[in-house]
Amino acid sequence: ILNVEQSPQSLHVQEGDSTNFTCSFPSSNFYALHWYRWETAKSPEALFVMTLNGDEKKKGRISATLNTKEGYSYLYIKGSQPEDSATYLCASTASQGGSEKLVFGKGTKLTVNP
Amino acid sequence: KAGVTQTPRYLIKTRGQQVTLSCSPISGHRSVSWYQQTPGQGLQFLFEYFSETQRNKGNFPGRFSGRQFSNSRSEMNVSTLELGDSALYLCASSLGPGFSYEQYFGPGTRLTVT
């Protein structure tokens, strides 16, 4: 069974703070790690897809790193804003019985207070 | 470009009935994946279709099935509904098969089984 773990489960920060979350995944049979932002009453929005060990990706104030050998990824938000409040999901690929799937963690719920 | 659309947005069914949900992907996207979101289990992968063929499948019973048409639109069917099937069903489209590409999610269909 493939478990994707995210920590912390929730986080409250002040506007302007920088923050980071962790995603842990089994490194065997891995080929891609996804990050999504899911705001209440909206659809999950893709942030990054990373495949190579050492990958670093950036989109505005948000960046992510990937370590496939030890099975973890970090998501960083610099200078958090209230509009960053959302649940951040990571998902890892897995192979099982000849089929591939995308396994999601339970997410980190971020609340940014003005 | 229009996003992923799903119909209907809300549905109430009775235990034992069957239901069909529809998903229209972003134009040019040939891969459609389906997910179930429940408070307890989080977001779980159901199956993926690419070029009218089921490529990958998650760990759901045979009551959950799907298909994809030549225009890449996809339908998901759940037969003999159970109370536990109450969930938000999301579909996502992507450029290519598998999970090396970002998933673009639709707004979801909220299914309630009574």
**C-alpha count within 13 angstroms, C-beta hemisphere, residue B114:** 3
List, in sequence order, every beta strand (DSSP E) within B1-114: 5-7, 10-13, 19-24, 31-38, 42-50, 53-57, 64-68, 74-78, 87-94, 104-105, 109-113
What is the distance in angstroms between the Cα of B20 and the nearest Cα belonging to chain A? 20
Q: What is the pLDDT of residue B84?
A: 96
Q: How many CB atoms lie within 10 A of CB B68?
A: 23
Share of chain B above pLDDT 70, in %: 100
pLDDT at position B46 over 90: yes
Name the token pair of B43.
């977001």
Q: What is the pLDDT of residue B2?
A: 82
Over residues B47-52, mean pLDDT: 96
CA distances from B79 to B6, B39, B48, B90 (A): 19, 22, 19, 18
pLDDT at position A94 over 90: no
Over residues A55-84, mean pLDDT: 96
**C-alpha count within 13 angstroms, C-beta hemisphere, residue B46:** 27
Q: What is the pLDDT of residue A31?
A: 86
When the pLDDT of each residue in chain B is averaged and rounded to a whole number, the result is 96
Q: What is the pLDDT of residue A18?
A: 97
- Angle at the Cα of A20 from the Cα atoms of A17 and A22, rounded to 5 degrees: 165
Q: What is the pLDDT of residue A99?
A: 84
Q: What is the pLDDT of residue A1?
A: 54
Query: Which residues of chain B have a CB within 8 Å of the CB of A101?
Result: 45, 56-58, 99
pLDDT in tens, B10-33: 999 999 999 999 999 999 999 999
Q: What is the pLDDT of residue A22?
A: 98
Q: Which residue of A has its CA nearest to B106?
A: A43
- Report residue A83's pLDDT band, with 50, 70 and 90 as the boundaries: very high
pLDDT in tens, A1-42: 578 999 999 999 999 999 999 999 998 878 899 999 999 999
The span from the CA of A100 to the CA of A48, in Å, is 19
- In sequence order, what are the beta bridge partners of A38? A87
3-state DSSP assignment of residue A82: helix
Query: Which residues of chain B have a CB within 8 Å of the CB of A64?
Result: none
What is the distance in angstroms between the Cα of A67 and the nearest Cα belonging to chain B? 17
Contact assignment for B57 to A101 by CB distance below 8 Å: yes
